[in-house]
Homo-oligomer: A and B are copies of this chain.
Amino acid sequence: MTKTIGRLTWAVAEGYIPPASTGTTRELTSHETVCILNANDEDARVEITVYFADRAPAGPYVFTVGGKRTRHLRFNDFADPEPVPLGTDFSSIIASDVPIVVQHTRLDTRQPALALLSTIAFPLD
């Protein structure tokens, strides 16, 4: 289909996990997500670094995205080496050993009607 399916390094300058939710299910809990497509045959090892306003970066958070698979990773679920704090501005850089495509999405249910945002991440290579 195409030889190079994506890029190795991506940045998402926006980042914020809404600290409250009106939804009660996992689907309708406020969340901040990076969606990663690995359209290659081999698995991708993905490292995510999280940047803050007033402290040193956290991470890397390490994930595997299988060949010809997608993963929609929630920053809410990040635990190792440390959780990402709620209600805090951050940014992230996503680095992979095989080309991937990255998109950033938020679902916000702080008020009693959900809101969504999404944008393609910015490729750094």
Binding site for B on A (CB under 8 A): 1-2, 4-6, 8-9, 11-16, 22-23, 27-28, 33, 35-37, 39, 49, 51-54, 56-57, 68-72, 87, 89-91, 93, 95, 100-106, 108-125
Contact = CB atoms under 8 A, between A and B. Distances in A.
Contacts of A91: 35, 37, 39, 70, 101
Identical copies in the complex = 4
Nearest to A23: B111
A63 to B, nearest CB: 12
Contact of A5 (B5, B11, B33): B11
Contacts of A110: 27-28, 114
A1 B95 contact: yes
